[in-house]
Structure 1
């Protein structure tokens, strides 16, 4: 029989090993970390309210009216229609630029102050050259003074005067363009260079378009027809002469101002070319108006004069207004406008001496 013996040291070693293992296992029995208590706070709903906009008054700046002044000198005897047109144009331009405007009809009451910026004058001559020389700080504009001379503060529009030869030429061309068989005529006043220039210019304008202008059917008359109308003449005599020569379109130059004559011509069925605004009762027979574009020249030169620029010299170009589309079609208008442009540019000449009215 065999017996095994273990040394007490082995037993102690085993006790020690078990004890160490027990001690190492105790921490694992504890919780893995500190206990955390969660506290849930009540939810607070926030409402955002947009602030009410506050209106802030913003100061606006309104410029004070300018003290600058523009004066139109129109002495007794001045052309009423021309003066009225100038008053309307200058008043409009002055209002746009914030300057005051007035018309002077008496030189004794004319007062030029340091605020006077521009003085415009129409015939009769108020002594515009002397006024300009005595007031060098003011700009002056002479409208339609043939003998005026440009100076540092005196500007001129239409120093050469009107061109009745060019007006007549354009009227003759227009009449021939719109009239069948070129049956056209003009009312003439050959007792003055202007009247003669208008008649001869009209004849050259007609010929410029139609050459010999021979009608294709009776009456076989050499056109254009000229009928003299002296001041105080009988309008019916003129009407009978034009109607008797089968004239369909007639030119009434600026020197012939007779409403009764115009009405009689319109009632006879004659188409009219004239100057200015036609009377309402004959508007249906009015083809167009030919005149000098004075107001266009004033508008063109106005800003330069207000800026203090002087010594300007502008001619008065022809204008073609009051166009009646029922009698003057757009195609024919373009044709006449082309000749007007060439006439003003000097490519086409009226063939008339504007000083004497005679053919060149």
Structure 2
């Protein structure tokens, strides 16, 4: 009986510990959705926190804008900086930001030369903005655009490397400075690999075969300029990015031509696509960022090139390693393209 009485007292005590209306916590249950949009400023603003600003146009494609925002955001956070994104920037606006440390801007040029002159204590970086001159607080990435000569030189080297009898070709835009530059650099890339590069077996045509597309030709007719490469039995060809329409590339693939260019537009070209030689902005920004944080300006970097969309059936691992070594040496200026951009 005493045991029952004691148990009753204990039960009443435990019951009294539960507040009326209280809910017992559970492991699962509905939760409120959280917003997924990243805030403009990623650190809590304080008077002493330095600020980094990214200036990009509102018209920039969303995927591209997201990439650049994420890149600068990550770099700023790692450096202990606040981060903002703006679509424009004026001298009056930056003079209000007493803790502004770094400004990174993409085309169109918001007037970086004047902005840098107005606030010499701030480091500015112009990315792929043409016509800038580096100064003590203004640095440049890709100020000359894509390194056309290095891109074409590597394409020539790869084409000659892979073609057993050096039957290579190139399609460019006629009578344009970049088109002429690309052809000359391509020829030098071929020569760098094989010297005279004379075919050992007939037919003995003159290589590289060069097909030029006039600037006044509609894009819908570009595909016809693949015919000379097919007629002269070209095996590997470089297509200058300015004329690399999907229609032209499809035609080349149907002809059995193996293609090197800047970007593969479709997976259906995979079997005939050798490699993409792509310029990339983000690695260049990442490379120059420590100098900006340290207050070191006057940097001028070219856009680095990378091998993408590699087809291992055409460019084996061993040959890819060889190509990568040549590309690395080219970008360290240990090898010259033989042309002046």
- 1:65 and 2:65 matched: no
With over 3 angstroms needed to count, the CA separation of the structure-2 counterparts of 1:284 and 1:104, relative to structure 1, is: farther
Cα deviation digits, residues 62-102 of structure 1 (max 9, x gap): xx935354333334787999766534533443455565545
Aligned counterparts of 2:161 and 2:321: Cα–Cα separation in 1: 11
With over 3 angstroms needed to count, the CA separation of the structure-2 counterparts of 1:82 and 1:180, relative to structure 1, is: farther
With over 3 angstroms needed to count, the CA separation of the structure-2 counterparts of 1:97 and 1:331, relative to structure 1, is: same
Name the stretch that deviates more: 334-343 or 191-200.
Answer: 334-343
Residue matched to 1:90 = 72
- 1:104 and 2:86 matched: yes
Aligned counterparts of 1:89 and 1:120: Cα–Cα separation in 2: 11
Contact 2:244 2:261 in 1 (8 A): no
Paired residues, number? 291
Name the stretch that deviates more: 72-81 or 334-343.
Answer: 72-81
Residue matched to 1:214 = 198
Residue matched to 2:148 = 164
Residue matched to 1:132 = 116
How far off is 1:280 after superposition?
Answer: 2.5
Give the alignment partner of residue 343 of structure 1, picking from 323, 330, 339.
330
Aligned counterparts of 2:43 and 2:56: Cα–Cα separation in 1: 26
How far off is 1:174 after superposition?
Answer: 0.6
Aligned counterparts of 1:200 and 1:116: Cα–Cα separation in 2: 45
Q: What does 1:224-263 align with in structure 2 at a 5 Å threshold?
A: 224-231=208-215, 232-233=218-219, 234-263=221-250
Structural RMSD (CA): 3.0
Residue matched to 2:31 = none
Give the alignment partner of residue 202 of structure 1, picking from 186, 189, 192.
186
How far off is 1:329 after superposition?
Answer: 0.8
Aligned counterparts of 1:190 and 1:83: Cα–Cα separation in 2: 33
With over 3 angstroms needed to count, the CA separation of the structure-2 counterparts of 1:248 and 1:103, relative to structure 1, is: farther
How far off is 1:128 after superposition?
Answer: 0.6
- 1:314 and 2:296 matched: no
For the pair shown, the structure with the greater C-alpha radius of gyration is: 1
With over 3 angstroms needed to count, the CA separation of the structure-2 counterparts of 1:240 and 1:80, relative to structure 1, is: farther
How far off is 1:169 after superposition?
Answer: 1.1
Aligned counterparts of 2:264 and 2:104: Cα–Cα separation in 1: 24
Cα deviation digits, residues 210-248 of structure 1 (max 9, x gap): 222222333321111111123424133122222111112
Contact 1:66 1:98 in 2 (8 A): no
Residue matched to 1:147 = 131
Where does the alignment leave 5 or more consecutive residues of structure 1 unmatched? Answer: 1-63, 355-360
TM-score by length of 2: 0.74
Where does the alignment leave 5 or more consecutive residues of structure 2 unmatched? Answer: 1-41
Give the alignment partner of residue 299 of structure 1, picking from 286, 309, 317.
286
With over 3 angstroms needed to count, the CA separation of the structure-2 counterparts of 1:109 and 1:312, relative to structure 1, is: closer
Corresponding residue SS for 1:174: helix
